Amino acid sequence: MEALRMLTERVSAPQLTGPGITPQEQNILLRSALRAPDHAWLRPSRYLLIEGENRRALGEIFLQATPDWQSLSAEKQQKVLNMPLRAPLLIVAVSCIQEHPKVPRDEQLLSTGAGVQNILNAAWALGLGAIWRTGDMATNPQVIEALGLAPQDVIVGFVYIGHINCTLKQPPELPLDDFVTRWKAKSS
């Protein structure tokens, strides 16, 4: 797909389905992520790939981490268990925050966020669908620990990737003037 059209037309795909994402496709997604800008080359971003039956294990982690989960109805419990099954591939984007005199925490988070955006764009260019989700589970310490992460690591997103299984929205073209100001110096 032509690069500029891809960048100006990408949308998220909330409903995704199989088949699975091929190793070649995964390679492109991850290499795109690693081209995110990164102040001082700290390399704070890590990506966990979760596929197949491992998604069910993640569903169990989500359920156990849900406060008071035993008191939820069977239907609500199943909904939580099914969350990771919404796509054949989940990429958990993590920022492993490091102390650095010139690179504050926010810049490291932004770098991982840029990595996620590169994944979304690469997925779109491959003809795949993707959506960036967070929710309560992203900040839940039990989830962070169960994924093998350190307490200071930040889950920047659960990126769901698969084949598009819904009608995509066609957002209206936004007027640039609502968001962009051509700043000019004050005349003295």
Ligand X SMILES: Cc1cc2nc3c(=O)[nH]c(=O)nc-3n(C[C@H](O)[C@H](O)[C@H](O)COP(=O)(O)O)c2cc1C
Residue 113 CB, shortest distance to ligand X, in Å, is: 7
Q: What angle do CA 34, 180, 117 make, to 5 degrees?
A: 15
Closer to ligand X by Cβ: residue 27 or 141? 141
Residues 148-177 within binding reach of ligand X (CB under 6 A): 157
Q: Give yes or no for a contact between 131 and 42, defined as CB atoms under 8 angstroms apart.
A: no
Verify binding: residue 15, ligand X, rule CB under 6 A.
Answer: no
Q: Which two tokens stand for residue 165?
A: 């299984």
Verify binding: residue 143, ligand X, rule CB under 6 A.
Answer: no
Verify binding: residue 12, ligand X, rule CB under 6 A.
Answer: yes
Q: According to CB under 6 A, which one of 11, 42, 109, 114 is a site residue for ligand X?
A: 11
Verify binding: residue 121, ligand X, rule CB under 6 A.
Answer: no
Long-range contacts formed by 140-147: CB under 8 A, 24+ apart:
140/65, 142/61, 142/64, 142/65, 143/61, 143/62, 143/65, 146/61, 146/64, 146/65, 147/48, 147/61, 147/92
Q: Which amino acid is at 29?
A: L
Q: According to CB under 6 A, which one of 33, 58, 131, 149 is a site residue for ligand X?
A: 131
Q: Which residues are annotated as a binding site for FMN?
A: 10-12, 35, 39, 132-134
Instruction: Give the footprint of ligand X on this chain (CB under 6 A).
Output: 11-12, 131-135, 157
